[in-house]
Structure 1
């Protein structure tokens, strides 16, 4: 596991109150770096969206069918091959787009958390 991923996991565990006392120093050190602060903000945004009722954040007519169609043509990665690296962070979006973007970014984060072998 690479160092940044491990530090992100420490930040996530700190936010969830699941970090052991001796690991708090690692999380605090990670938060002193720009990548750590970016992860902190992203995790908070994801949490805010997951806890919200999402009213007013409709995705538009036909979104589910378009998403299903795109997922149907996706090629699953071969067993034993690493997934491609995540894209670099993008510039902040207008506030209207943030809930939808946070919901979309929560899917891979939550999927990774529950995928065996990660």
Structure 2
């Protein structure tokens, strides 16, 4: 069964696309947790960060670079943004297809991990 992200990539499900190239797609999250909340999804299916291998390292770095491009497109590059990757159930992973959450557009608190 295809993940929701595979179905978006293959245009079986509509999404508000912010950015796309041959390696990834960036869309607006339909359940945002910040004023600006985008998802950056590699077209290569990697279930989660802990399952990425050495061959995926370049792609992972590439996705971080795309995060800065998307942040600029969304007008949050100068004010600040956060990039989050959930890995596993306890981290809130809900789709087994690695993706980056790009959050910003407002001051972001930090519930876990102490002070900023």
TM range (shorter): under 0.3
Relative contact order: is structure 1 or structure 2 higher (C-alpha 8 Å, sep ≥ 6)? 2
Q: Which has the higher helix share?
A: 1
Q: Say which one has the larger Rg.
A: 1
TM normalised by structure 2 equals 0.25
Q: Which has the higher strand share?
A: 2
